[in-house]
Amino acid sequence: MLNLRTCAAKLRPLTASQTVKTLSQHRVAAPRTFQQLRCYSAPVAAEPFLSGTSSNYVEEMYYAWLENPKSVHKSWDIFFRNANAGAAPGTAYQSPPPLSTSLSTLSQAQFLVQAQPNVDKLVEDHLAVQSLIRAYQIRGHHVAQLDPLGILDADLDSSLPADIVTSTDKLDLAVFKERLRVLTVGGFYGLDESDLDKVFHLPTTTFIGGNESALPLREIIRRLEMAYCQHIGVEFMFINDLEQCQWIRQKFETPGIMQFTNEEKRTLLARLVRSTRFEEFLHRKWSSEKRFGLEGCEVLIPALKTIIDKSSEKGVDYVIMGMPHRGRLNVLANVIRKELEQIFCQFDSKLEAADEGSGDVKYHLGMYHRRINRVTDRNITLSLVANPSHLEAADPVVQGKTKAEQFYCGDTEGKKVMSILLHGDAAFAGQGIVYETFHLSDLPSYTTHGTVHVVVNNQIGFTTDPRMARSSPYPTDVARVVNAPIFHVNADDPEAVVYVCNVAAEWRSTFHKDVVVDLVCYRRNGHNEMDEPMFTQPLMYKQIRKQKPVLQKYAELLISQGVVNQLEYEEEIAKYDKICEEAHARSKDEKILHIKHWLDSPWPGFFTLDGQPRSMTCPSTGLNEEDLTHIGQVASSVPVEDFTIHGGLSRILKTRGEMVKNRTVDWALAEYMAFGSLLKEGIHIRLSGQDVERGTFSHRHHVLHDQNVDKRICIPMNHLWPNQAPYTVCNSSLSEYGVLGFELGFAMASPNALVLWEAQFGDFHNTAQCIIDQFICPGQAKWVRQNGIVLLLPHGMEGMGPEHSSARPERFLQMCNDDPDVFPKLLDDFDVRQLYECNWIVVNCSTPANFFHVLRRQILLPFRKPLIIFTPKSLLRHPEARSSFDDMLPGTHFLRVIPDSGPAAQNPEQVKRVLFCTGKVYYDLTRERKARQMEADVAITRVEQLSPFPFDLLQKEAQKYPAAELVWCQEEHKNQGYYDYVKPRLRTTINRAKPVWYAGREPAAAPATGNKKTHLTELQRLLDTAFNLDAFKDLA
């Protein structure tokens, strides 16, 4: 083993520094071409009878013998045994055994017995070589020279895999010797130096042979080192699919596969020029501005362009991208091709904004651009999704948007539309949303049929060393869970980068699965251009200061190869600098900042040309009786033949049918009516979340399962009308952050779809808080982008304990943008205008009909706003929580407030108290009022739309009961629920003429008690307060 390793050191290919003097960094690429060799072992070659065509014959015999020694004549068998056992040249040949049994037969038999140990050795050696090949395929990337600085280990591990024969400068001498001693004693492969020139048959699981099926060990090792231990580290052997593994091996092992034409090299150089000079230009003009520059990973631009070119060549015409701060401006300029003046003018702080938007354009706003791909001459649309600071949060959003774009163009296999996600190394390893997004990648209703992930692995996160930031060897290990191949590549080797990017794009178009390109690079400056990196990374930055920029290195290489000359190179630079200068001059003419030019998802036709809604009215959301009946009938039937449903479900459908006959709906049926009617109007509906198909509370049953046939399902909603829009209902993975982000992205693509995400219980939305806080609540304000996503959040104090009670209405209400202290002007269409101005709509419906209307209104509005609905649990089956068809007919609409309609409303002057409430508590209050016979004394007003606050209607309500005390009643604890939101607004509504009292649970840390009895006691106490007309006397 020792000998073999020493030899392997001699075997290492010439380094580029030996061939190209100008590339003088530590570990540099070897030449990538191979001589096609036809070799067999030296002793064999020395036999006198081997000449001319006979050698071909012998070679064939030899390979046949390697496969199966019995398949050749005994004489050949003996010859090859002898040769492989090390017989001296000319002595391996034994004449064929004579036919008769004689002395010579005896000696032959003796020889065979003697030769037996050599057969064992031969087999062992072949197995050893196979193991060696496999070791390189599995662990070669640990040895690959990935760090351009030559000082760090990309896998955070300085040790070498024990089963790879390689020489390296990774280890110091003492460690190296000790390691070899251990290996030699263990006799790892049982091979030694004398085996190096023996020819070994190659297994079918390697392509290093090219056209050869056998190679000398020396050449095998050399080729394995070339394929796996240079500037590319390929991680793929965990993939459970042989065809995919073979595909990758072929791409990296085939000798001479990594060839570039001079034209390709020049294109690569030109792209590097743009990438590098763009950052330099920004630095020259705005030296004190943060820009999160790309220096140290300039190769990202050619990398992305390669992926896009190759994908375009394979038929993709729409690429949706998501990326963080690093290099974003460069990507906008040189990949998306945003006009440079539009970028440069963002640096002008004096520009006035033309429209809303927080103006944080430079690193957060999105972009949409359609152009011709120059390489393929095909149209391509590129969209960069706006993103918040929250790293990786845009990942699922990009995927959702991609899925939607695929859906709308009928691209069921991802052949036309694809996504590219960019990541930082620290964020990719650290953020759980990356994992959640990966888990969506292969689910039927969420797959985008393969994403190309590109990691800008600058081996640092802000000031944190990766050794303190992750426990996995690479930042990319998360991708292994979905069997995505991972291509690590030294970013200072542009050709290697372009090669892996081509392979990644081909992988995606071949297998339609995710793939990762890990650009191992460095960050030339601090985290931003103002930061001092030497405070925290002194040694790394000493090395970085010495590091020649990749453009310079590559230019020198191409000049030395005669691909370009110095003058051409300088002209390329001058040409791009001029483009920048001219754009900069033009950018000074820009007087106004148009943030709407930075939309990632325009909705052509939905708004006027000025981007305004086409009207400020909302038509009636009612529906004609026939449609209600028809939808109801389909909802209570099984619209396909020979389909056996569960007996319990038959009963549920039967009850539904009876409701339809009685012209009533419960919650589930109201939802059916809303969805079914919108489908008729061509609105696509997508309902996604955990267990939404049946419904957590077993009330929905949108997917029927044949009890006798596995996977046979029926979705009656898709059997409603001849030309209806499709209905998608999908149980999701158990993720809130990922799935809500995904649906938000889906809703982004088109205004003509109702996209709903349902939380299993409302409180689970907080694991998706980032999507709510960063996208849904402020999305329009930050990025001028509207979104009509609907959140269904089961909520209600049902005595189920603290974990399943509260969807945290207080949080949503706290983030509403309506002013609690200002009574708004009541103009025409106040209700619609108010909706237009709000950041989101928050409702808690108390009747199925109102739920039906609010869902329909969401689509019939002339603009889009997120809609948060607190949905009930016990009301799903509450006998009183039913609505008549009459409340859903044409002319009816969503009731923002439901006034009292009983005795109190008939004699409002007599009313002593108005209880304002929302949601399910209404039913507790009416029951209690009835029990206490206080219907004439106490009015109960339901606030169905909490935000925007129905100032106009509540003003009327308050005025209607002039003598009444006003009380807000809620079942939630006082520091939770709606009280803090409603109280100041109600006070504003009545011009602070009266107090607004509180009847409800006391403040608490948890949303609810875990004790059923305490729950009931608390409920009774709040009802007592609500109906005790003296309750607030002493406080007045």
Ligand X SMILES: Cc1ncc(C[n+]2csc(CCOP(=O)(O)OP(=O)(O)O)c2C)c(N)n1
The 3 state secondary structure assigned to 902-944 is: CHHHHCHHHCCEEEEECCCHHHHHHHHHHHCCCCCCEEEEEEC
What does residue 683 show for φ and ψ, rounded to 5 degrees?
-90, 120
**From candidates 61, 160, 199, 427, binder to ligand X by CB under 6 A:** 427
Report the C-alpha gap between 337 and 271 in whole angstroms. Answer: 13
Told to check if 836 binds ligand X by CB under 6 A, we report: no
Cβ 154 to Mg ion shortest distance, Å: 12
Say which entry of Mg ion, ligand X, none residue 390 contacts (CB below 5 to 8 A, set by partner kind). Answer: ligand X
Query: Which of the ranges 42-50, 336-344, 418-426, 782-790 carries the binding residues for Mg ion, by CB under 5 A?
Result: 418-426
Q: Which is nearer to ligand X, 364 or 882 (CB)?
A: 364
Q: Nearest distance from residue 325's CB to Mg ion, in Å?
A: 10
List the structure tokens of 291: 């820009």
> Is the bond preceding residue 778 a cis peptide, omega within 30 degrees?
no
456 binds ligand X (CB under 6 A): yes
Backbone torsions φ then ψ of 314, nearest 5 degrees: -85, 0
Minimum CB distance to ligand X, residue 198 (Å):
47
Among positions 424, 485, 796, 919, the unique one binding ligand X when judged by CB under 6 A: 424
Which of 391, 739 has the CB closer to Mg ion? Answer: 391
d(CA 784, CA 963): 46
Structural tokens at position 679: 């489908």
Q: Which of these segments, 7-15, 459-467, 683-691, 711-719, binds Mg ion (CB under 5 A)?
A: 459-467
Give the interface segment with ligand X, choosing from 385-393, 644-652, 851-859, 883-891 (CB under 6 A): 385-393
| Stretch of 50-58, 308-316, 388-396, 558-566 contacting ligand X, by CB under 6 A | 388-396
Cβ closest to ligand X, residue 459 vs residue 677: 459
Residue nearer to ligand X on the CB measure, 524 or 527: 527
Of 266, 369, 390, 663, the one binding ligand X by CB under 6 A: 390
If DSSP codes are grouped into helix, strand and coil, which group holds residue 64? helix
State the binding partner of 326 from Mg ion, ligand X, none, CB within 5 to 8 A by kind. Answer: ligand X
Question: Is 148 one of the binding residues for Mg ion (CB under 5 A)?
Answer: no
The one segment of 306-314, 387-395, 846-854, 977-985 that binds ligand X by CB under 6 A: 387-395
Residue 389 binds: one of ligand X, Mg ion, none (C-beta under 5 to 8 A by kind): ligand X
Which CB sits closer to Mg ion, 447 or 476?
Answer: 476
Nearer to ligand X, 727 or 737 (CB): 737
Query: The dihedral of CA 567, 569, 573, 579: what is its sign?
Result: positive
Instruction: Report the residue number, 334 or 774, with the smaller CB distance to ligand X.
Output: 774
* 752 binds, options ligand X, Mg ion, none, Cβ within 5 to 8 A by partner type: none
Identify whether the C-beta of residue 157 lies closer than 8 Å to the C-beta of residue 142.
yes
- Element at 519 (helix H, strand E): strand 515-520
Q: Among Mg ion, ligand X, none, what does residue 114 contact (CB within 5–8 Å per kind)? A: none
Residue 132 makes contact with ligand X by CB under 6 A:
no
Tell me how far CA of residue 338 lies from CA of 291, 319, 341, 783, in angstroms.
16, 15, 9, 17
391 touching ligand X, by CB under 6 A: yes
**Quick one: 453 or 527, whose CB is closer to ligand X?**
527
Which runs of consecutive H residues, i.e. helices, occur in 452-549? Answer: 494-511, 538-546
Q: What residue has token string 């709040």?
A: 1022
C-alpha dist (Å) from residue 537 to 453, 465, 473, 522, 527: 27, 8, 20, 12, 11
Asked if 435 is part of the footprint of ligand X (rule: CB under 6 A), the reply reads: no
3-state secondary structure (DSSP) of residue 324: coil
The piece of 299-307, 452-460, 687-695, 830-838 that touches ligand X (CB under 6 A) is 452-460
- Is 146 or 813 the residue whose CB approaches ligand X more closely? 146
CB of 384 closer than 8 Å to CB of 367 = yes
- Segment lying near Mg ion (by CB under 5 A), choices 280-288, 316-324, 451-459, 527-535: 451-459
Report the chain's C-alpha Rg in angstroms.
Answer: 36
Nearer to Mg ion among residue 424 and residue 899 (C-beta) = 424
Total binding residues for Mg ion by CB under 5 A?
A: 6
- Interacting residues with ligand X between 311 and 350 (CB under 6 A): 326
Residues 582, 577: Cα–Cα separation, whole Å: 9
Q: What is the DSSP string of 532-591?
A: -GGGT-HHHHHHHHHPPPHHHHHHHHHHHTTSS-HHHHHHHHHHHHHHHHHHHHHHTT--
For residue 1031 the two structure tokens come to 């309750």
Binding site partner of 63, from ligand X, Mg ion, none, Cβ cut-off 5-8 A by kind: none
By CB under 5 A, tell whether 373 contacts Mg ion: no
Residues 461-490 that bind Mg ion (CB under 5 A): 461
Give me the least distance between CB of 128 and ligand X, in Å please. 41
Q: Candidates 29-37, 417-425, 614-622, 915-923 — which segment interacts with Mg ion by CB under 5 A?
A: 417-425
Distant-in-sequence, close-in-space partners of 614: CB < 8 Å, separation ≥ 6: 606, 607, 608, 862
Q: How far is the CB of 536 from Mg ion (least distance, A)?
A: 13
Contact range with ligand X by CB under 6 A, out of 384-392, 400-408, 496-504, 854-862: 384-392
Query: Nearest-CA neighbor of 697 among 897, 942, 876?
Result: 876
What is the spatial distance between Cα 20 and Cα 29, in angstroms, rounded to a whole number? 10
Q: Alpha-carbon torsion 116, 120, 121, 126, what sign?
A: positive
389 is a site residue for ligand X (CB under 6 A): yes
By beta-carbon proximity to ligand X, the closer residue of 429 and 504 is 429
SS3 label, residue 999: strand
Compare residues 255 and 526 and give the one whose CB is closer to Mg ion. Answer: 526
Q: Is position 460 an interface residue for ligand X (rule: CB under 6 A)?
A: yes
Q: In this chain, which of 148, 233, 450, 461 binds ligand X, going by CB under 6 A?
A: 461
Given phi > 0 = left and psi -120 to 50 = alpha, else beta, which region is 321?
beta
Here the tokens at position 380 are 């391509």
Q: Is 425 in the site for Mg ion (CB under 5 A)?
A: yes
Instruction: Please state at what angle helix 262-285 crosses helix 300-313, rounded to 10 degrees.
Output: 130
Binding-residue total with ligand X (CB under 6 A): 15
| Choices 87-95, 338-346, 453-461, 501-509 (CB under 6 A): range interacting with ligand X | 453-461
**Which range binds Mg ion by CB under 5 A, 339-347, 363-371, 456-464, 960-968?**
456-464
Report the residue number, 282 or 558, with the smaller CB distance to ligand X: 282
- Check residue 750 for interaction with Mg ion (CB under 5 A): no
Q: Residue 54 or residue 389: which is nearer to ligand X going by CB?
A: 389
Query: Where is 673: in which H helix or E strand?
Result: helix 667-680
Q: How many helices (H) and strands (E) does the chain have?
A: 35, 28
Q: Give, in order, the Cα–Cα distances in Å from 1026 to each of 607, 949, 1030.
A: 47, 23, 10
Residue where the block lists tokens 């809130």: 736
Shortest distance in whole angstroms from residue 536 CB to ligand X = 13
CB 769 within 8 A of CB 830: no
Nearer to ligand X, 30 or 391 (CB): 391
The only residue of 462, 721, 823, 830 in contact with ligand X, by rule CB under 6 A: 462
**Interface residues toward Mg ion, by CB under 5 A:** 424-426, 458, 460-461
**Interface residues toward ligand X, by CB under 6 A:** 326, 389-391, 424-427, 456, 458, 460-462, 523, 527
